[in-house]
Amino acid sequence: MRITILGSAAGGGFPQWNCNCRNCAGQRAGTVRAKARTQSSIFIQPDAGADGLLLNASPDLLQQIKATPALQPGRALRDTAIAAVLLIDGQIDHSTGLFMLRERNGKLPLWCTDAVAQDLSTGNPILRVLEHYCGVDRRRIQPDGTPFEIPGLAPLVFRAIALSSKAAPYSPHRDAPEPGDNIGLLVTDPRSGKTLFYAPGLGEIDAQVFDAMHQADAVMVDGTFWTDDEMQRLGLSRKTAHDIGHLAQSGPGGMVEWLDKLPASTRRLLIHINNTNPILDEDSAERAEVERAGITVCEDGMTLDF
């Protein structure tokens, strides 16, 4: 399978439009060595050149399509390589790009859990609005680990597990989490036997999540915040990473420590990186620390084949 990182930043992107934190201001001015990044999305194809699955529909989707020729093969007057879309949650940064696909010919195959479909029909009724355009062919994901296939994506096999994270702030049940508000996805290519674990929003690593990470040859996981109080310390929010459903990377029990427990052969990648995270600065001590731990900080446009 081929994986293309379309967007490696968290909500807001990097630099964020209204932000003048050290990273954002430094990136704009060229005084901090850091690459700009669009909001969270990846594309998975069974083979390079084949149609693929869009994992999360970012508000930056049109920019991502322009930057990625594989998404526009140009075989017909109206064409796309996006065979289907799968949402791992209903957050703004993962779902509002659906509006950008409204000119599509025919209903958009959209894979998501019941919890996400409900949020996207109530608190943020994107699916209802799209009925006035291309319409949505909604396919149910059960977040219980059962293998499923997606038409057009053969021979890839998918499994979803429920994660402890957070429903979107607009969700009618933001404070009453339901299994399926957030999922982690295992994608296996039976030809190579290789598996990717993708979880850009991961609040907690329980036994089931760690088992899924263990099964994977590559884990692409929540890289949102370096410290739990990152936004508080900068005076940007009163909430911790944990409050909004993200496990910070540094310190005891942090993501770096968890990744260190995986087999040496597992590829470790951080994605969904918030603009405040010091790992974005290629010259920072924090970036050096993750690199020493064998962890790749995802960038837009990166591809992985396995």
Cα 101 to Cα 57, 75, 208, 276: the distances in Å are 9, 18, 34, 30
Nearer to ligand MLT, 1 or 185 (CB): 185
Nearer to ligand MLT, 52 or 201 (CB): 201
Alpha helices in the chain, H assignment, sequence order: 22-29, 61-67, 92-95, 114-119, 126-130, 207-215, 230-233, 255-260, 285-292
Q: Is 56 exposed, middle or buried (0-12, 13-18, 19+ CB in 10 A)?
A: buried
Distance of CA 53 to the CA centre of its chain: 13
Binding partner of residue 286 among Mn ion, Zn ion, ligand MLT, none, CB cut-off 5 to 8 Å per kind: none
Which conformational region is residue 145 in: left (phi greater than 0), alpha (psi within -120 to 50 degrees), or beta?
left
Least distance from Mn ion to the Cβ atom of residue 10, Å: 5
Least distance from ligand MLT to the Cβ atom of residue 92, Å: 4
Binding partner of residue 92 among Mn ion, ligand MLT, Zn ion, none, CB cut-off 5 to 8 Å per kind: ligand MLT
Closest CA to 223 of 256, 253, 188: 256
Nearer to Mn ion, 10 or 86 (CB): 10
Nearer to ligand MLT, 156 or 269 (CB): 269
Least distance from ligand MLT to the Cβ atom of residue 277, Å: 12
Least distance from ligand MLT to the Cβ atom of residue 10, Å: 4
Contact footprint for Zn ion (CB under 5 A): 16, 19, 21, 24, 275
Nearer to ligand MLT, 153 or 279 (CB): 279
Q: How many helices (H) and strands (E) does the chain have?
A: 9, 13
Binding partner of residue 244 among Zn ion, ligand MLT, Mn ion, none, CB cut-off 5 to 8 Å per kind: ligand MLT
Contact footprint for ligand MLT (CB under 6 A): 10-11, 91-93, 201, 244
Q: Would strands 194-199 and 183-189 be described as parallel, antiparallel, or unpaired?
A: antiparallel
Nearer to ligand MLT, 80 or 274 (CB): 274
Binding partner of residue 24 among Mn ion, ligand MLT, Zn ion, none, CB cut-off 5 to 8 Å per kind: Zn ion
d(CA 110, CA 159): 16
Least distance from ligand MLT to the Cβ atom of residue 246, Å: 6
Least distance from Zn ion to the Cβ atom of residue 23, Å: 5
Binding partner of residue 19 among ligand MLT, Zn ion, Mn ion, none, CB cut-off 5 to 8 Å per kind: Zn ion
Nearer to Zn ion, 231 or 290 (CB): 231
Q: Show the tokens assigned to 71.
A: 């998404």
Closest-by-Cβ residue to ligand MLT is 11
Counted residue by residue, the chain has a size of 306
DSSP secondary structure string for all residues of 227-293: STTHHHHTTS-S--TGGGT---SSSTTSHHHHHHTS-TTSEEEEESB-TT-GGGSTTSHHHHHHHHT
Least distance from Mn ion to the Cβ atom of residue 94, Å: 6
Binding partner of residue 21 among Zn ion, ligand MLT, Mn ion, none, CB cut-off 5 to 8 Å per kind: Zn ion
